[in-house]
Amino acid sequence: MRTEILNRLGRETELWDVLVIGGGASGLGAAVDAASRGYRTLLVERFDFGKGTSSRSTKLAHGGVRYLEQLNLTLVLDALRERGHMLRNAPHLVHDLPFVVPAYTFSALPYYGIGLKIYERLSGRLSLGRSEFLSRTGTLDRLPGIATDGIRGGILYHDGQFDDARLIITLVRTLEDLGGAAINYVEAVGLLKNGDKTTGIQARDCESGSVFDIRAKVVVNASGVYAEEMLAMDGAARGSLLALSQGTHFVLPRSFLPGDAALMIPKTTDGRVLFAIPWHGATLVGTTDEPVDRVSAEPRALRAEREFLLTHIVRYLQRTPTATEILSVWSGLRPLVRKDGVRTSKLSRDHTILVSKSGLITVTGGKWTTYRRMGQDTIDRAVEVASLPRRSSRTLDLKLHGWIESSSASSEWECVYGSDLTALKALSSDRAGLDAFLHPRLPFRLREVVWAARHEMARTVEDVLARRTRALFLDARAAMEAAPAVAGLLAAELKRSEEWKQKDLAGFLETAKGYVLEECDLRPMAVSYAHPPGQ
């Protein structure tokens, strides 16, 4: 598939209408929107699709309860509407999830109860369900495993959950369905100019090293935390646009929160929001919000973040996890629009679109839930800049690739394939061994590796274990143990040499070490064992 796209780029001399740089949520949102209007659209990604921020979220399609408390009603309203559209357009990937906010004082019950009732009402016809007050007993029933001391009751409300990396791959497939093209491991190394106008990019195939030109009527810079690199190529000063924030998550066994509801703490002792969420048979805990001053393709959890998460796991889930119970730890960077003197945790998650003098369009900021609206707004500007034929966006009601009304999936994981599940399962009919699980602790089968190589442009072991499946994010040790089998299957599918297989496997194992915590990473830490604070 990737080879065919490269050959197409080499053959075609016709201008692309829209060229998007960046294969994350904002880039794919823009590319799908452009293709939905009938524009010739190409997207290039320097790493793998969703490698950065977009595969490292808290997996929530939500309006943002804390933005409601900040009175950012516009952002909340937009996000709640988009949450509803996400669920309607990709029901195989997005679903309703009940959340419980425990109250530790009687005054907290009406305070959060009224706020969450407003949150529910703001979603209007796209509401996912009614919020309701819970007694102490009802709260403990919905949140088995939570620390019981001091709980007076709770509030149940509804929000959305999804698998971010799988939605990224679904958007790539949707773009292809619409006649567009997306290619990974192609880097923009320079901008092409005609006078003072941007007319395309000089691109480098990261696999072969070959360099070639791609020309387009308009170029969209949707490269996330790397956006300032592209702006620098266009002559802008570095450091003036983005404030980077890092968010880290721990993944724990499901036994830490064995119910079907998620825990939401709206205000920890330092004012942050904390979630503990059931996800693919595990418990996802996060997130942090730490300012950082440099970009990394593989950000690592800071000591302060590990201490914050460990302290609050002990405080709210009443258990101290061992290093082996922390199945995976991973971090992502948020590209927030800078505002002098404002902490990253207080910066708006709304998106910003800039048009430079050369006509380069940059979209940054925003949040996963509003990716579709970000894409629509970006292409609206692109139409103006490039004087493209005016056509309306069709993404509001666009059913994404794999859309299916009801699934025959036997597991939560299989649901993500939607209508492709039948074809995926057929691979096991051709080769019975492909029905085997990758690892006893993982829900993925060997057939997913073959499918990823044939249909989802997976090029490396990491692509398969981090983003086509979620093995690395769910259980890093299990992913490392499964990696040799994945490398063998992938090498066979891609017709790679034994040397390539061993090199790629070694690279993955080195990366995966950063997702594993050892006992020495946890101690000594100033972990507080205090009871949950009053709210």
Beta strands at 132-134 and 153-162: parallel, antiparallel or unpaired = antiparallel
> How confident is residue 54, by pLDDT bands cut at 50, 70 and 90?
very high
Reply yes or no: is the peptide bond before residue 440 cis, omega within 30 of 0.
no
pLDDT of residue 437: 96
Residues 49 and 107 in one domain: no
204 shares its domain with 115: no
**Rounded distance between C-alpha atoms, residue 497 and residue 508, angstroms:** 17
Task: Answer yes or no: is pLDDT of 530 > 90.
Answer: no
pLDDT of residue 349: 61
Q: Which residue blocks in 181-322 are alpha helix, DSSP H?
A: 227-233, 303-317
Among 71-75, 147-151, 157-161, 287-291, top mean pLDDT goes to 157-161
pLDDT number for residue 528: 53
Q: Is residue 68 scored above 90 in pLDDT?
A: no
219: amino acid identity, one letter? V
Indicate whether 143 pLDDT > 60. yes
Residue 405 has a CB neighbour count (10 Å cut-off) of: 9
Q: What confidence category does residue 535 fall into, taking pLDDT thresholds of 50, 70 and 90?
A: low
CA atoms within 13 A on the CB side of 424: 23
Between 248-257, 325-334, 419-428, 515-524, the lowest mean confidence (pLDDT) is in 515-524
How far, in Å, CA of 375 to CA of 131, rounded?
Answer: 31
Q: What is the pLDDT of residue 296?
A: 94
Lookup result for tokens 């904390």:
274
**What pLDDT band is residue 477 in, cutting at 50, 70 and 90?**
very high
Same domain, 257 and 268: yes
Average pLDDT over residues 438-458: 97
- What integer pLDDT is reported at residue 318 of this predicted model? 83
Mean of the per-residue pLDDT values of the chain: 92
Tell me the DSSP string of 459-481: -SHHIIIIIIS-HHHH-HHHHHH
pLDDT number for residue 242: 87
Which of 226, 224, 344 minimizes the C-alpha distance to 291? 344
pLDDT value at position 340? 53
- pLDDT at residue 308, rounded to an integer: 92
With 60 as the cut, is the pLDDT of residue 501 above it?
yes
The verdict on 365 and 335 lying in the same domain is: no
Over residues 325-340, the mean pLDDT reads: 88
Tell me if 15 is assigned to some domain: yes
Phi-psi region of 401 (alpha: psi -120 to 50; beta: other; left: phi over 0): beta
Say which CATH number the domain at 252 has: 3.30.9.10
Token pair recorded at residue 32? 């799908």
298 and 374, same domain (yes or no): no
Cα distance between residue 371 and residue 174, in whole Å? 14
Q: Is residue 46 part of a domain?
A: yes
Residue type, 452: A
In CATH, what number is assigned to the domain containing residue 499? 1.10.8.870
Domain with 476, as residue range(s), is: 414-515
**What was the pLDDT predicted at 76?**
86
Is residue 526's pLDDT more than 80? no
Check pLDDT > 60 for residue 347.
Answer: no
Residues 307, 326 within the same domain: yes
Looking at the structure, tell me whether residues 421 and 509 fall in a common domain.
Answer: yes
Domain identity same for 37 and 112: no
**Residue 408: inside a domain:** no
> Both 387 and 461 in a single domain?
no
Is residue 461 predicted with pLDDT exceeding 80?
yes
- Whether 525 is in a domain gets the answer no
Which residue, among 29, 275, 45, has the nearest Cα to 164 in the 3D structure?
A: 29
pLDDT of 134 strictly over 60: yes
Q: Tell me, yes or no, whether 362 and 217 share the same domain.
A: yes
Domain count, the chain: 3
For the cut 90, the answer to whether the pLDDT of residue 412 exceeds it is no
- Whether 407 is in a domain gets the answer no
Higher pLDDT, 237 or 35: 35
User: What is the C-alpha separation between 337 and 225, in angstroms, rounded?
Assistant: 10
Per DSSP, helices labelled H in 178-240 are 227-233
pLDDT of residue 60: 96
CB-count exposure of residue 319 (10 Å: 0-12, 13-18, 19+): middle
Neighbouring C-beta atoms of residue 212, cutoff 10 Å: 13
- Domain membership of residue 338 (yes or no) is yes
Q: How confident is the model at residue 524 (pLDDT cuts 50, 70, 90)?
A: low
Preceding amide of 288 cis, omega within 30? no
Q: Give me the pLDDT at residue 251, please.
A: 98
The top-scoring range by mean pLDDT among 122-136, 344-358, 446-460 is: 446-460
- Secondary structure of 315-365 in the HEC alphabet? HHHCCCCCHHHCCEEEEEEEEEECCCCCCHHHCCCCEEEEECCCCCEEEEE
Let me know if residue 331 belongs to a domain.
Answer: yes
**Nearest CA to 421 among 92, 177, 27, 67?**
92
The answer to whether the CB of 92 falls within 8 A of the CB of 404 is yes
Q: What CATH number does residue 194 fall under? A: 3.50.50.60
pLDDT of residue 82: 95
Q: Report the SS3 class of residue 78.
A: helix
Is residue 428 assigned to a domain? yes
Quick one: pLDDT band at residue 72, thresholds 50, 70, 90?
Answer: confident
pLDDT per residue over 370-410, tens digit each? 999 999 999 999 999 999 999 999 999 999 999 998 777 77
**233 and 316: one domain?**
no
Give the pLDDT confidence score for residue 532 in this predicted structure.
Answer: 56
Express each pLDDT in 178-206 by its tens digit: 999 999 999 999 999 999 999 999 999 99
Q: Which two tokens stand for residue 512?
A: 């995966």
What pLDDT does 8 receive? 84
342 pLDDT exceeds 70?
Answer: no
Tell me the pLDDT tens digit for each residue of 92-119.
999 999 999 999 998 889 988 988 998 8
> Based on the domain organization, do 229 and 263 belong to the same domain?
no
Q: Mean pLDDT, to the nearest integer, of 502-509? A: 98
Residue 355 burial (C-beta neighbours within 10 Å; 0-12, 13-18, 19+): middle
